Amino acid sequence: MDFSPIISQFIKNFWYLIPLLIFAATLRSPWFKGMIGEFIVNISAKWLLDKNKYHLIKNVTLPTADGTTQIDHIIVSVYGIFVIETKNMKGWIFGKENQRTWTQKIYQHSNKFQNPLHQNYKHVKTIEQLLGLKDNQVHSLVVFVGDSTFKTEMPENVTYGGGYARYIKSKKQPVLSFTEVSEIITKIGQGRLSQSFKTHRTHINHVKNIQNQKKDSLACPKCGSSMKRRESKNGNAFWGCSMFPKCRGTKNIT
């Protein structure tokens, strides 16, 4: 049976529903949720942080040894660099600092997702390497936005919405000079890839390739990267992170 006349008649009579359906689909898309999350962090930074002390850099894509890494927000100050990973999620959130995966629960449905602290670990190490900084000068920060509730105790650098500003302000010991802050802002600007659709698509494809590879490989307990079989100096075999030496995660071979 040819349904073409029926479809044509439906489009003719209800054409006005098509934009509404497209708009509804956009609202539910991961892209839109990500944009909302980033918008909330941007607005909070402007309202809650002194722009003369804290310098916000948004949507930074940096080249890495194995491709690219994309950072939602970087805030630069004399109190350190804050590397921010944003999560727009709803439901109950369960997780511990060292767990490889966390759990999102909405009514009876549960969904596993990568520990965002592990996800942000690669971002932090990339920034440290690019700028030649020490661990105490770069801070990892995860910000949840949306209608979510933590059902397990979270570390202090995992917060809701504008709560991340309190964490940033809690760092009162200067670890960088004003000159170093200016130099860091310049270096990030010079080291980042251009903000374009091509850059974004290249990064998305890179992430998909990594995810496909991880399905068939071990994952590092620290950063989530794939692991390779290695041997210690005394000849003992173990699994070592493929991002070594930036990441030194290991697992025993069982």
Vertex 167: Cα angle to 165 and 171 (nearest 5): 110
Q: What is the pLDDT of residue 2?
A: 52
Q: What is the pLDDT of residue 162?
A: 76
Supply 192's token pair.
């980042």
How far is CA 52 from each of CA 3, 73, 83, 181, rounded to the nearest angstrom? 63, 17, 18, 12
Rounded to whole angstroms, the Cα distance separating 139 from 83 reads 6
What are the mean pLDDT values of the chain's consecutive 10-residue runs (254 residues total)?
53 54 48 56 78 91 82 94 92 91 90 91 91 93 90 93 88 95 93 63 52 58 77 81 83 76
Q: What is the pLDDT of residue 108?
A: 85
- Beginning with the edge strand found earlier in the chain, give each strand of the sheet holding 67-77 in spatial order: 55-64, 67-77, 80-88, 138-145, 158-160
Rama region for 193: left / alpha / beta (φ>0; ψ in -120 to 50; rest): beta
Rounded to whole angstroms, the Cα distance separating 124 from 147 reads 27
Q: What is the pLDDT of residue 83?
A: 96
Select from 135, 141, 132, 18 the least CA-distant residue to 83. Answer: 141
For residues 73 and 58, the answer to whether their CB atoms sit within 8 Å is yes
The number of beta carbons lying within 10 Å of the beta carbon of residue 24 is 11
Supply 143's token pair.
């910000």
For residues 100 and 224, the answer to whether their CB atoms sit within 8 Å is yes
- Distance, C-alpha 252 to centroid of its chain: 28
Global model pTM greater than 0.85: no
For residues 145 and 85, the answer to whether their CB atoms sit within 8 Å is no
Handedness of CA 150, 152, 153, 155 (dihedral sign): negative
Q: What is the pLDDT of residue 185?
A: 94
